[in-house]
Amino acid sequence: MKEINHGQVQAGARSAVLSLRHSLEVYRKGCLVFASEGKWLHPLFQLEEFMRRQGWNGGELVVHDKIVGRAAALLCVYLGVSEVVAELLSSKGQQVLEHHRVPYRYKALAERILCRTEELLAEELDPARACAVLVALRGRGSGPRDESAGQD
């Protein structure tokens, strides 16, 4: 059983948190396999499609994200990723990751981030319900526009 490292940046792991060159990077067996410059939650939706095309299980993937709030954390749980690494993690995102026992690391912890989804999903812990809400928001164009959405 893998020991869960809740929020600690271990020696040697700090560089992994600080080396993010894209808004989202995903590693499989230590190799970068997906990257996105998208805004809002669009990169995680793009990752879901990428995983489907590759036939990959989220348990093989480590997600490195610039900002992980509650919505991003719920999407990571929904995707079944093995670990989340964040430059900035909100306490509401931290609650989700701890509740679902997803290992995580972060550079900075914030009480909250200024995003409507942080409050909209404030009490939600079910990743499938959260995903349905976020897909509906995305479909209505309620999130920031992402010019790269739908592009490969």
46: Cα within 13 Å, side-chain hemisphere? 23
Q: How far is CA 104 from CA 9, 64, 75, 82, 98, in A?
A: 9, 10, 14, 9, 9
CA 97 to chain centre: 10
- Check residue 20 and give its pLDDT: 64
Whether residue 29 contacts residue 60, with contact meaning beta carbons closer than 8 Å, is answered with: yes
Q: Give the CATH number for residue 18.
A: 3.40.140.30
CA 29 to chain centre: 18
Is residue 78 pLDDT above 80, yes or no?
A: yes
Q: How far apart are CA 33 and CA 130, in angstroms?
A: 26
pTM: predicted TM-score of the whole model, two decimal places: 0.79
Residue 8 lies in a domain: no
Residue 4 lies in a domain: no
Instruction: Write out pLDDT tens, residues 15-70.
Output: 344 456 889 999 999 999 999 999 889 999 999 999 999 999 999 999 999 999 99
Residue 146 lies in a domain: no
Is residue 7 pLDDT above 80, yes or no?
A: no
Residue 38 lies in a domain: yes
Whether residue 49 contacts residue 144, with contact meaning beta carbons closer than 8 Å, is answered with: no
Residue 43 lies in a domain: yes
Residue identified by tokens 């993937």 is 61
Is residue 13 pLDDT above 50, yes or no?
A: no
- For the chain, the domain total comes to 1
Residue 71's domain comprises: 14-139
Instruction: Write out pLDDT tens, residues 139-149.
Output: 765 444 333 33
- Check residue 148 and give its pLDDT: 35
Residue 45 lies in a domain: yes
Residue 32 lies in a domain: yes
